[in-house]
């Protein structure tokens, strides 16, 4: 059974960097079939794709966040990480990590972690 | 980016009702579309992928159709556990954008 778990601070001060890590258990982390992704949901709102990292380290970033965003992968630990710099209150959201397949969609999600940007 | 729209934004329905939700893409996406169900405080759950393929374990009362720019999710006989918010998502090109959601609540 594949499981994903987000970890990181639940509160970040404005202008600082938001850092989260997703730990994956079960399945094949280094399969070429998966895009290891971050998705967020602002309170009471819809879903926003942040970006993905491939097991090889190739990344894709949402253009709306690209200038502040970095996603990396550590295949030895079955982990991938998100760093979002210069955060504002508009970055307050539930952040999900997910295993994405182009054909089958997003079957596996983390439970989500609420990150609040506040001083 | 490919923009996704959904209608209606909300629908009130009764148990046993047939519910249809529409999703439209701003450009053709062939059959690269998935549907998700989300309940409060939970991650979304995939129901349909490739526009019309039922994800394993999902009840057969859920069905999807469409291709190109126009898609439909149908719940043939609404059950109490189906009251939730539904999202479509295109998988044609990154970023894999989502629709704004359709909330199905109790009439």
Which among B29, B47, B87, B94 is the top mutation candidate for probing chain A, defined by the most A β-carbons within 10 Å of its own β-carbon? B94
User: Are B49 and A105 an interchain contact pair (Cβ–Cβ within 8 Å)?
Assistant: yes
Q: pLDDT tens digits, chain B, 107 residues: what are they?
A: 999 999 999 999 999 999 999 999 999 999 999 999 999 999 999 999 999 999 999 999 999 999 999 999 999 999 999 999 999 999 999 899 999 999 999 88
Of A46, A62, A109, the CB nearest to B101: A46
Instruction: Please give, rounded to a whole number of angstroms, the shortest distance from the CA of B99 to a CA of chain A.
Output: 8
CB contact under 8 A, A49 and B98: yes
With beta carbons under 8 A apart, name residues in chain A contacting B57.
Answer: none
Inform me whether the pLDDT recorded for A102 exceeds 90: no
Q: Residues A8, A115: contact at Cβ < 8 Å? A: yes
CA-nearest residue to B57 within chain A is A107
What are A103's two structure tokens?
């054909």
Q: Strand A93-101 and strand B70-75: pairing?
A: unpaired
Determine phi and psi for B68, rounding to 5 degrees.
85, -100
Contact status, residue B89 vs residue B4, Cβ threshold 8 Å: yes
Kindly list the distances between the CA atom of residue B11 and the CA atoms of A104, A107, B84, B104, in Å, as whole numbers in the listed order. Answer: 27, 26, 10, 5
CB B75 within 8 A of CB B61: yes
């Amino acid at each position: 059974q594949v499981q994903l778990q987000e970890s990181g601070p639940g509160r970040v001060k404005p202008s600082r960097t938001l850092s989260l890590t997703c730990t994956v258990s079960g399945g094949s982390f280094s399969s070429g079939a998966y895009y290891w992704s971050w998705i967020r949901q602002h309170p009471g709102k819809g879903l926003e794709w942040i970006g993905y990292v491939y097991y090889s380290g190739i990344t894709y970033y949402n253009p709306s966040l690209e200038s502040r965003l970095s996603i990396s992968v550590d295949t030895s630990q079955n982990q991938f990480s998100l760093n979002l710099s210069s955060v504002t209150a508009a970055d307050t959201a539930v952040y999900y990590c997910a295993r994405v397949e182009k054909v089958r969609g997003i079957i596996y999600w983390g439970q989500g972690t609420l990150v609040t940007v506040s001083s | 980016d490919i923009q996704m729209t959904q209608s209606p934004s909300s629908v009130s329905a009764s148990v046993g009702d047939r519910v249809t939700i529409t999703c439209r893409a701003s450009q053709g996406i062939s059959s690269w579309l998935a549907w998700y169900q989300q309940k409060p405080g939970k991650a979304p759950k995939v129901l349909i992928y490739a526009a019309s393929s039922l994800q394993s374990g999902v009840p057969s009362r859920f069905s999807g159709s469409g291709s190109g720019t126009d898609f439909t999710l149908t719940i043939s006989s609404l059950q109490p556990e189906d009251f939730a918010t539904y999202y479509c998502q295109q998988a044609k090109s990154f970023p894999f954008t989502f629709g704004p959601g359709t909330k199905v609540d109790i009439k």
